[in-house]
Amino acid sequence: MEVTFVLYPNMTSLDLIGPFEVLASVPVVTPKFAAATLDPVRSDNGLVVQPTHTFADVESTGIVVVPGSGRWKKVLTESGELVEWLRAVHPTTKWTTSVCTGSTLLAEAGLVSRATTHWAAREDLEVRGVEVARERVVFDGKVVTGAGVSAGIDMALRLVEAEFGEEVAQAVQVGIEYDPQPPRAFDSIPPEIAQGLKTAFDTSSR
């Protein structure tokens, strides 16, 4: 199955690499890395990734994975070409997925009605007419969204289970030795810490 990983400037690298490691562990998966051009793409923390295809090259694909960005407000103002491509390719996919604030790009394209995202971007998702869920992974028809950053691994494992079965998902999870401990979530930490984080993310997202 062909999986197209979306690249764009200021994407968050773990949003991309986490699902890639999970999905690429399945032998029948063929990955592609698509961007507006074939120029190298720099993540928000400086990792540089080389695209293998342009958006124009990919007219159909089995799965799309859209990473988020720590600068998602800026990305949303510059994402016209990506959003148009998502609208065009979505009818051809079996699964259209996102990680973190990538769900705001799916919302901008009008592809999702209920989704999760990074806690700092919930309002940006809501103002785009999407019902905001607080689960770590959300299935909305063929659209699958993962919450912030590391949740991309969980999203991809759930996707592997849905597409290839529970035993394959278990094998992949044990293969990458993914056993997150201890579990913590934004809604469970002290309010003063949560507010400080929210202020920092609101500032850095622009």
How confident is the model over 139-156, as a mean pLDDT? 97
Tell me the domains of the chain and their CATH numbers.
2-204 (3.40.50.880)
Q: Which pLDDT band holds residue 188 (cuts at 50, 70, 90)?
A: confident
DSSP per-residue string spanning 112-135: -SEE---GGGHHHHHTTTPEEP-S
Q: Are 102 and 16 in contact (CB under 8 A)?
A: no
Q: Which pLDDT score, from 0 to 100, does residue 206 have?
A: 76
* Claim: this prediction has a pTM higher than 0.85: yes
Q: Are 61 and 93 in contact (CB under 8 A)?
A: yes
Q: Which pLDDT band holds residue 44 (cuts at 50, 70, 90)?
A: very high
Question: 14, 29, 63, 100: which is the annotated catalytic residue?
Answer: 100
Residue with tokens 């799916």: 106
- Quick check: 177 pLDDT over 80? yes
Can 100 be counted among the known catalytic residues? yes
